[in-house]
Amino acid sequence: MKTFLNRFFAPESNSCLTDAALLMLRLWLGLTMLFNHGLLKFSGFSTMKTQFSGLFGLSSEASLALAVFAEVGCAALLVVGLLSRFAALNLAVTMFVAFYTVHHLALRGEKPGELAFVYLAGFVALLIAGPGKFSADACVFKKPGAGNAAAKR
């Protein structure tokens, strides 16, 4: 019983529980970003491009295209776990821009940016932690001999 409690409440940094949690975080954030935000922008691109704000000297169409790239393409990459840190970085930048420009760093008021702020935190966590071993990155970019390291212990 003590072993179970130790594994559950004080898991090793490279434990299966940590990798499962990273998988769950990738799926949760990636799928909700893709289906609740990205596909809406993608399917309504022609009507949204005139209403979308142009940022950093870009046209509104280019800004929307970058948001669609992040919210559809990078969200899909994150779900699969391929190029995960690249995807998480793009999504984190997109959420920071949304939080800073659209919501004006507000967590209360008429346009609260709480959701963008929560997404930002999750994407930064994935950027730092990486995708975990249950990802395409772990298969594609596996280091030679890494599978034998556990057997040598």
Task: Please name the helix (run of DSSP H) or strand (run of DSSP E) that holds residue 103, with its range, or none.
Answer: none
Mean pLDDT of all residues belonging to the chain: 85
Model pTM?
0.81
Of 35, 139, 143, nearest in space to 80 by CA: 139
Examine the pLDDT at 1 and tell me if it is beyond 90: no
Kindly state the percentage of the chain with pLDDT values over 70. 78
45 SS3 class: helix
Q: How confident is the model at residue 89 (pLDDT cuts 50, 70, 90)?
A: very high
**Between the CA of residue 38 and those of 65, 70, 75, 122, what are the distances in Å?**
10, 8, 8, 17
The two structure tokens encoding residue 29: 């954030």
- pLDDT attached to residue 14: 60
Q: How confident is the model at residue 12 (pLDDT cuts 50, 70, 90)?
A: low
Instruction: With beta carbons less than 8 A apart as the criterion, state whether 101 and 66 touch.
Output: no
Domain boundaries of the chain, sorted by first residue: 17-136
- pLDDT attached to residue 151: 43
Distance CA 54, CA 66 (A): 11
Examine the pLDDT at 50 and tell me if it is beyond 80: yes
